[in-house]
Amino acid sequence: MATDPPFAMFVLDKDITNEYINESLKRAFVGDFESNWWIWVATDCYRDIPPPGEVHKTHLPATKPPLPAGYSSPWVGKTVEDCAA
Boundaries of every domain in the chain: 1-85
Stronger pLDDT, 72 or 63, i.e. the higher one: 72
- Identity of residue 72: S
Most confident of 15-19, 21-25, 49-53: 15-19
Phi, psi of 28, deg, nearest 5:
-70, -40
Give the pLDDT of residue 32.
Answer: 53
What confidence score (pLDDT) does residue 82 get?
A: 93
Residue 10 burial (CB < 10 Å; 0-12/13-18/19+)? middle
User: What per-residue confidence (pLDDT) applies to 27?
Assistant: 82
Helix (H, G, I), strand (E, B) or coil at 9: strand
